[in-house]
Amino acid sequence: MSSVLSMVEKKLAALPVSVQMQLPGGETVGASNPEMKLIVKDRATLVNFATGQAGNLGEDYVEGRFVVEGSMRNLMKIAAAILDQNPVDAAKGNWLTALIRHLVSIRRHSTTRDAEQIQFHYDLSDEFYALWLDPRRVYSCAYFREPDMTLAQAQEAKLDHICRKLDLKSGERFLDIGAGWGGLLLWAAENYGVDATGITLSKNQHAHVNRLIEEKGLSGRVRMNLLDYRDLDESRPYDKIASVGMFEHVGRAQLEEYFAKLRRLLAPGGLIMNHGITAGGVYNAEVGAGMGRFIEKYIFPGGELTHISNELAKIALSGLEDVDVENLRPHYARTLWHWSDTLEANLDAARKTLKPGEQGDKSLRAYRIYLAGCALGFEQGWIALHQVLLKHKATGRHDELDYPADEAYPWRRDYIYR
């Protein structure tokens, strides 16, 4: 124990934030006038701190094995400082490692398991999410077109950014896969006049969006279905398709078929926007130092990340062509800090929206760590956010320069920004 305590004291002295730690026996080490205080109740937590296992420390916090007195922003500075190695550094592994990962991914993503995993996360409590999301409840990376935008303004800018990239036109058939609480679906219908279909596996979101459709008088032109993307009807292809914050739930083993399904759903000359979180490392499917395991256990069961290079490879293999790729990583860091700061300012109200007792308290502690931890991850480049605009693979036409009617993507990007 003395060696562990020595490592703890050494780490405390090197932190960018002054910290005092109360040990399980009641004695204290670290700063005498600290910016933060950590009250440790379990000796295993000291080992996790000493060895830089940030994800394990997150679990310790959720399970009540230590208490934090101070801000989440400072706690994340501590988490980054105690790491012994970059959490995206991962060995490539051999063929057996790759096979095991592939088989695990297949097992985790049946239609039944995916529905259960989505409902575990998104059906936690609509009132809880409403406390810290923007009024439209857009639960994905915002787009800060101007640095002084509010979160609500940046989310509307993101919705419009996607619609502009898709070059949406009135009367087009638009599909939103994983439509959430309906932000993009309704924005596209109200501002671009499309005939819009959304799907989700969340029962809460399905009910919420259908209420909004009725209230806004959009029945007949907008619909929200409780449906798995694999069950979408391919007989009437869509002109434009968006998938926002959904492909992280697909599983690495299913990515090629996922993009092939999107291709079959896309009409000739149509466009697809795939917007999703990608891995910072080429080979890792999750963030290391236990952080990926934390998210799997408490937040997103079944979530799997992949590097943008692998995403583009699966896109090509599926018969689609990438025509525009944009990394919004810093935008997501700012978005997450907005969410985290808002939750921190409303902890008492948030607690009342969750199940009473220890289960609700655990959920709240998990989300406090999750939001701040993800903000840190995007800041550090451990994870990224890519928007990839897709179309059917080129057919070898000689008149693409003339932008014929069946070639929906212009040669220049100025149409997005004008």
Residues taking part in catalysis: 374
Handedness of CA 138, 116, 236, 262 (dihedral sign): positive
Select from 105, 127, 129 the least CA-distant residue to 117: 105
CA 341 remoteness from chain centre: 17
Contacting residues for 191 by C-beta, under 8 A, at least 6 apart: 160, 163
Q: What would you report as the CA-atom Rg of the chain, rounded to the nearest whole angstrom?
A: 23
Burial of 9 (0-12, 13-18, 19+ CB in 10 A): middle
The encoded tokens of residue 294 equal 């934390």
Type of residue at 65: R
Which residues, listed in sequence order, are joined to residue 320 by a DSSP beta bridge?
392
Alpha carbon separation from 194 to 136, 358, 392 (Å, rounded): 19, 46, 21
The encoded tokens of residue 3 equal 């060696």
Contacting residues for 297 by C-beta, under 8 A, at least 6 apart: 59
232-257 burial string, b = 16+ CB within 10 Å, else e?
A: beeeebbbbbbbbbbbbbbbbbbbbe
- Work out the end-to-end distance of the chain between its first and last CA atoms, rounded to an integer number of angstroms: 64
Tell me if residue 370 falls in helix, strand or coil. Answer: helix
Q: Where are the alpha helices (DSSP H) in 145-234?
A: 151-166, 183-192, 203-215
Strand order in the sheet with 173-177: 222-226, 195-200, 173-177, 238-244, 266-279, 383-392, 320-327
What's the rounded Cα separation, in Å, for the pair 366 and 305?
20
User: What secondary structure letter does DSSP report for 78?
Assistant: H
Strand pairing category for 195-200 and 173-177: parallel
Select from 187, 176, 197 the least CA-distant residue to 136: 187
Q: At what angle do helices 329-344 and 358-380 cross, to 10 degrees?
A: 150
